[in-house]
Structure 1
Amino acid sequence: MKLYSFFRSGTSHRLRIALNLKGLTPDYIPVDLRVDEQAQPSFKGVNPQGLVPALTLDDGETLIQSPAIIEWLEERFPDPALLPKEPEARAHVRALAAIIGCDVHPINNRRILQYLGKQLGADETQLNAWCSNWITAGFDAIEALLAKDNQRGAFCFGYAPTIADVYLIPQIESARRFKVDMANWPLISAVDQACSPLAAFSKAAPLVQPDA
């Protein structure tokens, strides 16, 4: 397999974690968003949407969109499981992931920030305030949900990483980049401390990637 990735992309980061948790090591193909390599015809041939990540399988088929790829990984490589067995618990874990994947990350990603800066004239302080606002809203909700789960272990759910952790850790990385004070969310910070030493997470970290 081939993984098309950018070291600082939150969606690429979450997919790297999921691949590591599944014990998969695809070839790493860097796509440099800093020089808009994702918009070039060579990459558009891989992913017509011009976004990372993309995962090309051994048979040549390419999967796009990190939520779809992560769900495919769970179906194709079910062990270790990244979702609990019970339907209600699965819905809960998916909801935690969706707070990040649907409500926080999409409005803080590079395309949005570029538009705010170039078309609307927002400066760095304003961009950081924009990101902090939406990260805070999402993290407040996640912190409250973690607090309500009195059967939770060290992770977002239970005693092993799930897709909730896969989504959360890259968003914490992004929060720090935008100067968000993580002290406001002690439970989220504790999950970060539980995940960070694990090889699946540490090897996926942005600054250890080949293109960092």
Structure 2
Amino acid sequence: MTEILLHGFWRSSAAYRVRIALGLKGIAYRQQPVDLLAGEQHDAAYTQIAPHHLVPALEQDGRVLIESPAILEWIDAKWPTPPLLPGDIDDAAIVRAMAALIACDIHPLNNLRVLNAIRGDFEATNPQVKAWIARWITEGFAALESLVARHGGRFAFGDTPTLADCYLVPQLDSAERYRVDLSPFPRVRAAGNAARALREVAAAHPDLQPGVPAGPIA
């Protein structure tokens, strides 16, 4: 197999998802850090790779893949064992819905460029930005809590990790970083903690990635 090169930012939730999926599949890869805070996503060289100026981007065999949902589905199709989607099409749709709650309803509203926009364009204060973040995490997790209560086992869906956990763990980390009150979501927290306890998931943690700053992390 030719080398997989993953372009990402150590704290990016979307890149974190991809690292988790590759880890669960046991797939080796190399990382190329892209410093979003320094604006490297806008450099001409990176724009040739990812014209949307976002991470992650994945390269293999001269082909570039962008957008984490597409990359995750590609990973699961290319290396089907262990599966990250249930074999039953109805169950697979539920897992995709769990993932989409995070990928579509929470994460985009709290993306770095959105937070920068509300700070710069609307002069939002830090407390207002944190309230904005908490609002969308809380609304999304309220829906996800119901789905995990209905379909979860040890993990978000059933007793084996799925795409839902690849999305949940980074979002749970983000919620904790911003000190969002997670007490109303015991099932979400339990599922996320079960996934984080896996060696492959723990290895994908942002603090262990290339490009992480030296010293204390805010």
- Normalised TM-score (structure 1): 0.96
Aligned residue type for 2:149 = A
Is contact 2:8-2:31 (8 Å) kept? yes
How many residue pairs align between the two structures? 209
Partner SS for 2:32: strand
CA RMSD of aligned residues (A): 0.9
Distance in 2 between residues matched to 1:121 and 1:97, nearest whole Å: 32
Q: Distance in 2 between matches of 1:139 and 1:118?
A: 28
Unaligned runs of 5+ in 2: 213-218
Q: Partners in 2 of 1:49 and 1:134 — Cα distance?
A: 23
**Would you say the 8 A contact 2:41–2:53 is kept in 1?**
yes
Partner of 2:215: none
* Aligned counterpart, 1:175: 175
Structure 1 residues 30-39 or 180-189, which shifts more? 180-189
Cα distance, 1:148 vs. partner?
Answer: 2.2
2:134 maps to 132
| 1:179 Cα deviation from its structure 2 partner | 1.5
What amino acid sits opposite 2:84 in the alignment? L
Q: How far does residue 45 in structure 1 lie from its aligned partner after superposition?
A: 1.4
Counterpart Cα distance in 2 of 1:193 and 1:177: 15
2:13 is equivalent to residue 10 of structure 1: yes
2:5 is aligned with 1:23: no
Identity among equivalent positions (%) equals 44
SS at match of 2:65: strand
Separation of aligned partners in 1, 2:200 and 2:122? 39
Matched, 1:109 2:95: no
Q: Distance in 2 between matches of 1:28 and 1:35?
A: 18
The Cα of 1:102 is off from its aligned counterpart by 0.7
What is aligned with 2:193?
193
In the TM superposition, 1:75-154 aligns within 5 A as 75-149=77-151, 152-154=152-154
Tell me the residue number matched to 1:47: 50
- Structure 1 counterpart of 2:164: 164
Aligned residue type for 2:185: W
Report the secondary structure of 1:45's partner residue.
Answer: helix
Deviation digits for residues 1-54 of structure 1 (CA, Å, limit 9, x no counterpart): 100010111101111101111111211100001100001101111111111000
Deviations 1:62-97 (CA, angstroms, capped at 9, x unpaired): 110000010111111111100001111000000000
Q: Does 1:209 align with 2:209?
A: yes
Stretches of structure 1 lacking an aligned partner (at least 5 in a row):
none
1:113 and 1:193 map into 2 onto residues whose CA distance is 27
The corresponding residue for 1:34 is 37
Query: AA paired with 1:205?
Result: H
Amino acid at match of 1:129: A
Runs of 4+ in 1 over 2 A off after TM superposition: none
The CA distance in 2 between the partners of 1:7 and 1:184, in whole Å, is: 29
Query: Post-superposition shift, 1:117?
Result: 0.3
